[in-house]
């Protein structure tokens, strides 16, 4: 069976997409195949087929933490937008599939008076993406709410405990095993006061609007915070607030955000981020580490 026929029989298939269409910074070249599997079993079939055929593949959530190269990706991008089921289980845990959009889930929980995801209510990613990055905000990270993670690896579905996921600051075991696919998870949620939960989420969303440039394409924070201070303070300290290189601009509002202000390329982003790192290293002897994933660059 031809690849196009196989993929289209197991998911929604696009042949004319590009990374700039599916990433929040709107950067990146054409994609040969973009498929959204209909369900978990179809995902297994697709990945097995791609491996057997020697076709490279890349899992992408909402593309909120990645910058992709401008050239053609001669492989298959897999999005899990159909894997967005959730259900409460008898053990009190919340089962969630990896394609669930986190702000949506946080709002569902808040409406039911359940606490646990308030910290992530403003992060525009999927559960799978946030687990991969061990995303966090307000001194809370995904590792604090994860009970276990369902992974597709070596041809089978396996549950990993929180400890087995090896969570660290903006990292997890999945960085070491890029062929493992996060499929679902179990979250620890607690009963709380619905109005207090909603008020906290509203307050944090307002803080985001006040302090972050949400009106321009970006990947959010570009660099991890060093142990010594916030990354944005170092960037501001070397006078790069508002700096611009081609289509990329260092945000005036939040210097750790690099914005696509005019048809930026991946090279624009890389050149700008390297320039920032060099300036901060020279001035403070601090090594800024990229939080963003660079792919196919």
CATH number of the domain that residue 33 is part of: 3.30.43.10
Q: Which two tokens stand for residue 244?
A: 């611009």
Judgement on whether residues 93 and 165 belong to the same structural domain of the protein: yes
User: Which of 26, 62, 170, 279 is flagged as catalytic?
Assistant: 170
SS3 109: helix
For residue 36, give its domain range. Answer: 3-79
User: Could you tell me if residue 201 is inside a domain?
Assistant: no
Judgement on whether residues 66 and 110 belong to the same structural domain of the protein: no
CATH of residue 267's domain is 3.90.78.10
- Say if strands 73-79 and 31-37 run parallel, antiparallel, or are unpaired: parallel
Structure confidence by residue, pLDDT tens digits, 67-91: 999 999 999 999 999 999 999 988 8
Judgement on whether residues 91 and 191 belong to the same structural domain of the protein: yes
User: Which of 218, 221, 251, 273 is flagged as catalytic?
Assistant: 221
SS3 195: helix
The rounded distance, in Å, linking the Cα atoms of 3 and 6 is: 5
The domain boundary, picked from 36, 58, 79, lies at 79
Judgement on whether residues 183 and 284 belong to the same structural domain of the protein: no
User: Could you tell me if residue 208 is inside a domain?
Assistant: no
Structure confidence by residue, pLDDT tens digits, 240-293: 999 999 999 999 999 999 999 999 999 999 999 999 999 999 999 999 999 999
Helix (H) or strand (E) segment spanning residue 110: helix 102-111
Judgement on whether residues 90 and 142 belong to the same structural domain of the protein: yes
The domain boundary, picked from 26, 48, 79, lies at 79
Residue 193: other Cβ atoms inside 10 A: 11
User: Could you tell me if residue 204 is inside a domain?
Assistant: no
SS3 290: strand
Q: Which two tokens stand for residue 26?
A: 């709107």
Task: Indicate the average pLDDT of the chain.
Answer: 94
Q: How confident is the model at residue 43 (pLDDT cuts 50, 70, 90)?
A: very high
CATH of residue 174's domain is 3.30.465.10
User: Which of 97, 118, 249, 291 is flagged as catalytic?
Assistant: 291
User: Could you tell me if residue 70 is inside a domain?
Assistant: yes
Domain count, the chain: 3
Is 170 designated active site? yes
Structure confidence by residue, pLDDT tens digits, 189-237: 999 899 999 999 998 888 888 999 999 999 999 999 999 999 999 999 9
Is 141 designated active site? no
User: Could you tell me if residue 203 is inside a domain?
Assistant: no
The rounded distance, in Å, linking the Cα atoms of 202 and 113 is: 15
Is 148 designated active site? no
pLDDT at 1: 64
User: Could you tell me if residue 205 is inside a domain?
Assistant: no
The domain boundary, picked from 21, 51, 79, lies at 79
The rounded distance, in Å, linking the Cα atoms of 251 and 269 is: 13
User: Could you tell me if residue 207 is inside a domain?
Assistant: no
Q: Which two tokens stand for residue 53?
A: 């055929």
Judgement on whether residues 106 and 190 belong to the same structural domain of the protein: yes
User: Could you tell me if residue 264 is inside a domain?
Assistant: yes
Residue 110 has pLDDT above 80, yes or no: yes
């Amino acid at each position: 069976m031809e690849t196009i026929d196989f993929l289209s029989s197991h998911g929604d298939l696009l042949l004319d997409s590009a990374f700039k269409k599916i990433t929040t910074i709107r950067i990146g070249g054409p994609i040969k195949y973009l498929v959204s599997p209909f369900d978990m079993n179809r995902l297994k079939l697709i990945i097995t087929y791609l491996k057997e055929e020697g076709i490279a593949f890349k899992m992408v959530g909402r593309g909120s933490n990645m910058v992709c190269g401008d050239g053609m990706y001669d492989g298959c991008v897999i999005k899990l937008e159909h894997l967005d089921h959730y259900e409460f289980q008898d053990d009190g845990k919340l089962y969630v599939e990896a394609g669930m959009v986190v702000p949506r889930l946080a709002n569902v929980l808040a409406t039911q008076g359940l606490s646990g995801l308030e910290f992530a209510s403003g992060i525009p990613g999927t559960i799978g993406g946030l687990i991969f990055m061990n995303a966090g905000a307000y001194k809370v990270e995904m590792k604090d709410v994860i009970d276990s993670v369902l992974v597709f690896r070596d041809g089978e579905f396996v549950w990993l405990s929180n400890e087995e996921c090896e969570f660290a600051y903006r990292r997890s075991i999945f960085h070491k095993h890029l062929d493992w696919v996060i499929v679902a998870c179990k979250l620890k949620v607690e009963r709380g006061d619905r109005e207090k939960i909603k008020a906290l989420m509203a307050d944090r969303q307002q803080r985001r609007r006040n302090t972050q440039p949400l009106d321009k394409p970006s990947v959010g924070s570009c660099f991890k915070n060093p142990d010594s201070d916030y990354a944005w303070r170092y960037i501001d300290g070397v006078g790069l607030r508002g700096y611009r290189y081609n289509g990329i601009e260092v945000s005036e509002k939040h210097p750790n955000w690099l914005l696509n202000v005019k048809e930026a390329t991946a090279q624009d982003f890389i050149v700008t981020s390297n320039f920032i790192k060099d300036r901060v290293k020279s001035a403070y002897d601090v090594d800024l580490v990229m939080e963003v994933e660079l792919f196919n660059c």
